[in-house]
A and B are shown apart, each in its own frame.
Chain A
Amino acid sequence: MAVVCFMVTMGLYFAATISFLAYLLRRSEALSKVSLGITAAGFVAHTVALVARMVGSSAAAPPSVHEALSFFSWMLILVFLAVEFRHRIHVLGSFIVPLALVSLISAAALPDTVPTLQPMFRTLWLHVTLSMLGTVGFAVAFVAGVMYLIQDRLLKSKRFNVLYSKLPALDFLDDLNQQSIILGFPLLTLGIITGAISAEFAKGAYVSWNPEQTWALVTWLFYFVVLLGRLTVGWRAKRAAYLTVIGFAGVILTLIGVVLKSYGTVS
């Protein structure tokens, strides 16, 4: 059941991605409705897959990388649908849905037995969930940043093409960027704290300074500075967009580090 739903989800997200990318280049409002419909259907299938999996797995088993990435992708789509519902910014789908698809494909590529971390403590679930939620925030900030930079460039170079007409106002994207980080940062902070507590219980040390932990802390620090800069000295707009794009690269590297390490421990 879970596997079938998962495959259906992937198919639907794939179709939605194609449809949303086509929407990016064509002046067709009907296309946005089609894309949204496919995405929503995919989201339902995804929810069923996640629930079925949760019911099927034992609570004691540590969350796998597969599950974490799938959950990340599900959250991304949820956020997209929520923003879409409120602001009707279809073009956001053209950026978020592909990202969700990539994350889902990564999840599918990994055997679902690969655990995120060695089972250490019950708080691991909390750690993974919180970290992933924080990452969703940064992912949305990243998407908003990319869209901001594109729109900024189009406006500066005065190219009033289809993309220009579809992208939302700059200040909306900047707000989205800010909100995402403001929501994502505390979640990641909590994720890191719960992770540290788990580690303390398991290994007797909060931080063991291995590469992916160090990298995660660097990323956290980076976002901290970005957030601080925005709230105090006006690092907003274009600079904020650049910084969040760079920051998200750090997030991706951390994730890759985690996955590689977990994979290594299994094989």
Chain B
Amino acid sequence: MHVIVVGLSHKTAPVEIREKLAVPGSRMGEALTRLTSYSGVKEGVLLSTCNRVEVYSVVDDIEQGYGRIQEFLADTHLSLSSEQLTPHLYWHADDRAITHLFRVAASLDSMIVGESQILGQLKDAFESALSHKTTGLIMNKVVKKAISVAKRVRTETKIAEMAVSVSYAAVELAKKIFSDLGQRTVLLVGAGEMAKLAAQHLIAQGVGQVRITTRTPQHAVDLAEKFGGTAVPFEQYKDDMASADIVLVSTGASHYLISADDVQRAVTVRMNRPMFLIDISVPRNIDPAVRHVDNAFLFDIDDLKQRVEKNRAERLQEADKAEQLVVEEVGVLREWMKSLEVTPTIVALKQRADEIKRSELDKTLGRLAHLPAQDRELIEGLAASIVNKMIHGTMVTLKSEVNSSNGAAFVESARRFFSLEAAPPQDTRGESAVDSSSCLAHDMNAPLVEQVPSRTASRKQP
């Protein structure tokens, strides 16, 4: 029984590939069911965000599992052949797979290290898997552990502040262009998580007006209500740009939405009043050529990150702390995983039975010292056969069920019934409200902003 992960992320694949492979929420159920229908694939969780598509799975055989999941990924998007896909994939098994998941959950593997979005996305992915019953004992434990590790990392290190600092940098830059934000208008185009965060920062700094446009009109209206701003029809935002001093763009579009000409036009209408453009989208949505437009100041996510590079040493230290935490937690989980293996369980079971038999025999035989050796052997034999018969059924069941989807559950039960060592790690599931809006839509035909269903759906316990 092995935990494996096969997937690709912003580190290994360009956005074109990630976009194609991404599984929208509506197709999640079908994909999960198909995933677990492959032979040898026992459990599966599919994590699909704009920055990564990963399949976490519990399989019998690592190599076979890799092959199956690769097949699954290629089938998920028919226009991508296996050959096109393979160069971008990574494969991890057991400890390394678990470490990877923990790092992902803790946002150590994110494009913006420390951002909180990924945790919500992982929770959603897990919930999806739970509701389609594609997870079992191991996956449940592993993912729940990953979530609790992520929370621990967030509370025990300052890693989350790093992500915040990117939007802080945006505000700081704005203040170098506009002395009084109170008279300024900010236009939000699209509403990715980082952009919303930056907008919140700007509002907290007293920015005068907020205008919001998203491809889905209703979404803009909702956000406008939330931020106390006005919604702007998506078709109009380019004309509206001239009235905005600060333009914050973050959509899922894979091409430039705002060209240098658009900005030049806006600056001309503004009679050369400076404009501050922030492009938090990946890939970028504002043509970098805007840099050559006078009185328009464009900063993309890398620039903002560069701005916060100053306290780099401290941030590295925090990331280090988080990594250590991950290693520690992987160790805990490894112990538990080990306990789920059948052979050690049977050995432990036999030992346990033997211990009981031995101690009871010692007690009884001590008082029967007058018996001849032959009789004493008979008693010993009796005890041994009772004990063996008692545990025989359990051992046979364990051996026969080991390859079923519930194998691990049987092992776990046996361990508990016979009080064998290595209690499973307890996870603390303090349900804090983690902002879990999904990433933006992946293709331009989809709504610009996809709202995540509310998380009132009852969580199925394994």
Contacts and interface: CB of A to CB of B under 8 A. Distances in A.
A171 B177 contact: yes
B178 A171 contact: yes
Interface stretch (A14-22, A60-68, A150-158, A185-193): A150-158
Interface of B: 173, 175-180, 268, 270-274, 291, 294-295, 297, 299, 303, 306-307
A169 B303 contact: no
A156 B175 CA distance: 15
Contacts of A238: 272, 294-295
Given A155-B297, A158-B299, A237 B178 contact: no
8 contacts: A155-B173, A156-B297, A169-B178, A234-B273, A237-B272, A237-B273, A237-B294, A239-B294
Nearest to B302: A158
Interface residues of A, number: 21
Given A155-B297, A156-B291, A169 B177 contact: yes
Contacts of B295: 237-238
Given A158-B303, A236-B271, A237-B273, 8 more contacts: A155-B177, A158-B306, A234-B270, A234-B271, A234-B272, A234-B273, A236-B272, A237-B272
Contacts of A85: none
A160 B178 contact: no
B175 A235 contact: no
B175 A169 contact: yes
A151 B178 CA distance: 12
Nearest to A160: B307
A81 interface: no
Indicate the member of B179, B268, B291 with the most A CB atoms within 10 Å.
B179
A169 B272 CA distance: 16
Contacts of B307: 160
A164 interface: yes
Contacts of A235: 272
B179 A169 contact: yes
A237 B273 CA distance: 7
Contact of B273 (A158, A169, A236): A236
Contact of B176 (A169, A234, A236, A239): A169
Interface of A: 151, 155-156, 158, 160, 164, 167-172, 174-175, 233-239
A170 B271 contact: no
Contacts of B270: 234
A84 B176 CA distance: 18
A170 B295 CA distance: 10
A234 B266 CA distance: 13
A173 to B, nearest CB: 9
A171 B297 CA distance: 13
A164 B303 CA distance: 15
Given A155-B177, A158-B306, A164-B176, A170 B274 contact: yes
> Which 6 A/B pairs are nearest by Cβ-Cβ distance?
A234-B271, A169-B179, A172-B179, A234-B272, A237-B295, A237-B272
Contacts of B180: 171
Contacts of B177: 155, 169-171
A139 B297 CA distance: 27
Contact of B274 (A164, A167, A168, A171): A171
B205 to A, nearest CB: 13
A234 to B, nearest CB: 3
A19 B178 CA distance: 28
Contacts of B297: 155-156
A164 B310 CA distance: 14
Contacts of B291: 156
Contact of B271 (A158, A171, A172, A233): A233
Contacts of A169: 175-179
Nearest to A155: B297
Q: Which of A156, A168, A171, A172 has the most CB of B within 10 A?
A: A171
A11 B118 CA distance: 62
Nearest to A238: B294
Nearest to B299: A158
Nearest to A175: B179
Contacts of A170: 176-178, 274
A56 B234 CA distance: 73
A181 to B, nearest CB: 16
Contacts of B179: 168-169, 171-172, 175
A155 to B, nearest CB: 5
A236 B272 CA distance: 6
B174 to A, nearest CB: 9
Contacts of B299: 158
A233 B268 CA distance: 9
B295 to A, nearest CB: 5
Contacts of A174: 274
A104 to B, nearest CB: 31
Contacts of A175: 179
A135 B241 CA distance: 39
Identify the interface centre among B178, B274, B291: most chain A CB within 10 Å of its CB.
B274
B292 to A, nearest CB: 9
B289 to A, nearest CB: 13
Nearest to B310: A160
B443 to A, nearest CB: 31
The listed residue with most B CB atoms (<10 A of its CB), out of A151, A158, A172, A236, is A158
B371 to A, nearest CB: 91
A144 to B, nearest CB: 13
Nearest to A89: B179
Contacts of A233: 271
A160 B270 CA distance: 26
A184 B204 CA distance: 38
Nearest to B308: A160
Contacts of A168: 179
Contacts of A236: 271-273
A158 B180 CA distance: 22
Contacts of A239: 272, 294
